[in-house]
C-alpha cells in the first residue's frame, strides 16, 4: 500500500533539488502522482519604480515562465519513467502561505519541502517562512535536509503518550503508522523514541513523595514502560526491543546525543500542545537541540487541526 499517492514537492530556486528529488523518487510507486511546485517572489521587482505596471507584470510572467520551464525538465523525466507528474508556479509575497494555499487546493498526502539555506543550522531549519509552514501546513510535511537517505533508512517515531486528551493520543498512533509505513516502503528500519524525566515537576512540591525518591523514580519508569509497551504492541514491538529507545533526562540533551549514536534518516514527530516537537521548540532548549539535528523531519498534525490559511 502506498500511503503517499499524491506528493507535493516544494522546490525553491536555490534549494538542494537533487537530494529532494532523489527522496521523492524513492517514495514514488506506480500509482503515485507528483506535483512540483515553486512559490516565487522578488520584492525588488514588485517594488521597482523602473517599470510601468504593464512592464512589471510582463517581467513577473517572464520570471514565472523561466521557473516553470525548470520544473518541467524534471516533470519530463518523471513522466518518461512512468510517474504521473505536473508542475505549477505561484507569485506570492508570503511564501509559507503560498505553499499552504497550494496544499489546500492539491490535497497531497505528503509535502516535501527543503528549508532555505542560511548561515547556521537553526536558521536554515527555522527561517520565518519555514517556521510558519511547519505550523500551518495541514498535510504531513517532510523537511528535507541536504543528506541523502541510506540504502536502508532508519525511520524513528518520536512519541509522548502522556496526554490529557484523545486527539493527542490518536496523534501518537498516527506517528507510528506513518513511521512504520515509511520504513516498509523504503525497506528500512523502524525505531521508536521516547524521552522523559523520572521526577515529575509536581513531586518537587510534595515532601512526602520526595522522601521516597528512589521508589518514585521506579514507579515513573514503570509507568512509562507500560504506556509505551501498550502503544507499540500493535506494531509488533516491545520496550525490550533494541529499536525502542526510552531515554531519561532533558530532551535537548538526550536527543542530540542519541542522534549522534543512531544514524536516523527521518525523525517522525507531531506538532501539538505538549507534543514532542513543541517540547523541543520551547525556550532556549530549541536552539541547543535543533542546531544539532541533521536528519530529515516528518511533521504530522492531529486530525482536529484547523488550518489558519484560507484557500483563496
Please check whether the domain covering 149-312 is classified as CATH 3.40.50.12370.
yes
pLDDT, residue 274, reads: 46
Q: Domain extents for the chain?
A: 1-148, 149-312
pLDDT, residue 52, reads: 72
Least Cα distance to 39 among 146, 132, 147 occurs for: 132
Q: Provide CB contacts within 8 A for 22, sequence distance 6+.
A: 148, 149
What does pLDDT average to over the chain? 83
Are residues 256 and 195 in contact, defined by beta-carbon separation less than 8 angstroms?
Answer: no
Per DSSP bridges, beta strands 266-270 and 244-248 are unpaired
Per-residue pLDDT reduced to its tens digit, 284-301: 333 344 456 788 989 898
Average pLDDT for residues 264-283, to the nearest whole number?
67
End-to-end CA distance of the chain: 33
Residue 147 has pLDDT above 50, yes or no: yes
> What is the Cα–Cα distance from 57 to 311, expressed in whole angstroms?
23
With b for 16 or more beta-carbon neighbours within 10 A and e for fewer, the 75-103 pattern comes to beebeeeebbbebebbbeeebbbbbbbbb
pLDDT, residue 273, reads: 46
Number of neighbours of residue 231 by Cβ within 10 angstroms: 21
pLDDT, residue 8, reads: 98
Per-residue pLDDT reduced to its tens digit, 11-22: 976 656 889 999
The torsion region of residue 147 among left (phi > 0), alpha (psi -120 to 50) and beta comes to: beta
Residue 206 has pLDDT above 70, yes or no: no
Distances (CA, A) of 87 to 2, 42, 72, 90: 22, 20, 6, 11
Per-residue pLDDT reduced to its tens digit, 32-82: 999 999 998 877 676 666 667 777 788 888 888 999 999 999 999 999 999
With b for 16 or more beta-carbon neighbours within 10 A and e for fewer, the 149-183 pattern comes to beeebbbbbbbbbebeeeebeebbebbbbbbbbbb
Average pLDDT for residues 234-255, to the nearest whole number?
91
Query: What whole-number percentage of the chain has pLDDT above 70?
Result: 78
Residue 118 has pLDDT above 70, yes or no: no
Residue 232 has pLDDT above 50, yes or no: yes
pLDDT, residue 211, reads: 58
Average pLDDT for residues 204-213, to the nearest whole number?
58
Q: Which CATH number fits domain 1-148: 3.40.50.1820, 3.40.50.2000, 3.40.50.620, 3.40.50.720?
A: 3.40.50.620
Which of the 8 DSSP states describes residue 115?
A: P
* 159 three-class SS: coil
Least Cα distance to 300 among 145, 168, 153, 107 occurs for: 168
For the chain, count helices (H), then strands (E).
12, 10
pLDDT, residue 80, reads: 93
Cell of 249: 533526562
Identify the band that residue 249 occupies on the pLDDT scale cut at 50, 70 and 90.
confident
Amino acid at each position: 500500500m502506498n500511503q503517499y499517492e499524491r506528493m507535493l514537492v516544494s522546490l525553491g530556486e536555490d534549494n538542494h533539488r537533487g537530494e529532494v528529488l532523489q527522496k521523492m523518487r524513492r517514495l514514488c510507486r506506480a500509482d503515485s502522482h507528483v506535483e512540483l511546485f515553486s512559490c516565487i517572489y522578488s520584492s525588488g521587482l514588485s517594488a521597482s519604480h523602473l517599470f510601468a505596471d504593464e512592464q512589471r507584470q510582463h517581467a513577473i510572467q517572464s520570471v514565472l515562465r523561466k521557473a516553470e520551464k525548470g520544473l518541467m525538465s524534471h516533470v519530463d523525466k518523471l513522466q518518461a519513467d512512468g510517474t504521473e507528474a505536473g508542475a505549477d508556479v505561484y507569485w506570492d509575497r508570503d511564501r509559507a502561505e503560498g505553499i499552504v494555499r497550494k496544499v489546500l487546493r492539491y490535497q497531497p498526502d505528503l509535502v516535501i519541502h527543503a528549508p532555505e539555506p542560511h548561515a547556521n543550522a537553526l536558521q536554515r531549519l527555522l527561517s520565518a517562512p519555514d517556521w510558519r509552514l511547519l505550523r500551518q501546513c495541514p498535510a504531513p510535511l517532510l523537511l528535507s535536509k541536504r543528506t541523502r537517505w541510506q540504502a536502508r533508512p532508519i525511520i524513528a517515531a518520536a512519541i509522548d503518550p502522556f496526554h490529557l486528551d484523545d486527539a493527542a493520543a490518536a496523534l501518537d498512533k498516527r506517528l507510528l503508522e506513518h513511521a512504520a509505513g515509511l520504513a516498509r516502503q523504503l525497506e528500512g528500519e523502524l525505531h521508536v523514541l521516547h524521552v522523559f524525566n523520572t521526577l515529575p515537576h509536581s513531586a518537587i512540591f510534595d515532601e512526602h513523595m520526595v522522601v521516597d525518591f528512589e521508589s518514585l523514580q521506579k514507579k515513573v519508569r514503570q509507568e512509562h514502560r507500560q504506556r509505551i509497551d501498550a502503544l507499540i504492541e500493535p506494531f509488533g514491538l516491545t520496550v525490550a526491543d533494541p529499536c525502542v529507545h526510552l531515554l531519561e533526562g532533558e530532551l535537548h540533551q538526550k536527543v542530540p546525543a542519541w542522534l549522534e549514536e543512531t544514524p536516523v534518516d527521518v525523525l517522525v514527530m507531531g506538532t501539538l500542545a505538549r507534543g514532542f516537537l513543541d517540547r523541543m521548540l520551547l525556550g532556549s532548549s530549541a536552539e541547543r537541540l535543533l542546531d544539532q539535528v541533521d536528519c530529515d523531519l516528518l511533521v504530522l498534525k492531529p486530525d482536529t487541526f484547523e488550518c489558519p490559511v484560507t484557500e483563496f
